[in-house]
Amino acid sequence: MSKSKVEKYIEKVERDFVLSYEAETESLLKQKEAEFALELSKIKTKALEKIEKEKSETLSTTKQALDFESASKGEALKSLMIEEIYQEGLAKIKTLKGPALFDFVYRLIAKEKLSGHHRLLVKKANFEKYNQALSDKSNADLLNQKFKDVSFTLEVYDDAVEEGFIIEDEKFDLYFDFKDLLSKHKDTHAFEIYQRLFGGK
């Protein structure tokens, strides 16, 4: 049975519609592909710019971190060197004997305004060392000859400082702990020593 003109027309309309729809769809797809490619290109460009920026910032930050770490280690090393100076100083003081120990003890006591008689107390283990340094014919006579208004008697005291001595006074005892004295000196003069050793380095 042959198709009527109406049926043929309907088929033509349907075919044209399908072709038109397919063409429109294809056009839309191409448009979207172009838009997607453009957006992708923009994203890639931004991503590359961000990566370069972050890389630059990272390099800068890394350099700053390395510089800071290096400076921190340098400062730590300088502090350690100053600490070693005082440790060596304490070790040297511990080995003082004879005239050297006498001079050191005298200079420490001379800074104090003392009068009358006092006991100079040391550990039993250190008594002989101090006795040889401060005495000649009698107890602490060499030391007493250096002062006019004050005199001393060297005695053993179990609770005396490990390295140093105590001067017993009526009002309060004077502790000459060599380790403590060096620690106080460091607190007062560490910056000055730092400047002399390292300057602006």
* Residue 106 CA neighbour count, 13 Å, CB half: 17
Query: Which residues are CB-neighbours of 156 under 8 A, at least 6 positions away?
Result: 121, 122, 123, 124, 127
Task: Specify the 3-state DSSP secondary structure of 22.
Answer: helix
pLDDT for res 140? 93
Q: Tell which wins on pLDDT, 145 or 73.
A: 145
Mean pLDDT of the residues in the chain = 76
pLDDT for res 29? 47
pLDDT for res 160? 81
Residue 174, φ and ψ in degrees, nearest 5: -105, 120
pTM of the model: 0.60
Sheet holding 164-168, edge to edge: 150-156, 116-122, 164-168, 174-177
Radius of gyration in angstroms for the set of CA atoms belonging to the chain, rounded to a whole number: 46
Please check the confidence at residue 129 and state whether its pLDDT lies above 60. yes
- Range in 70-74, 103-107, 125-129, 150-154 with the lowest mean pLDDT: 70-74
Query: Which residues are CB-neighbours of 110 under 8 A, at least 6 positions away?
Result: 146, 147
Domain ranges in the chain are: 1-95, 96-198
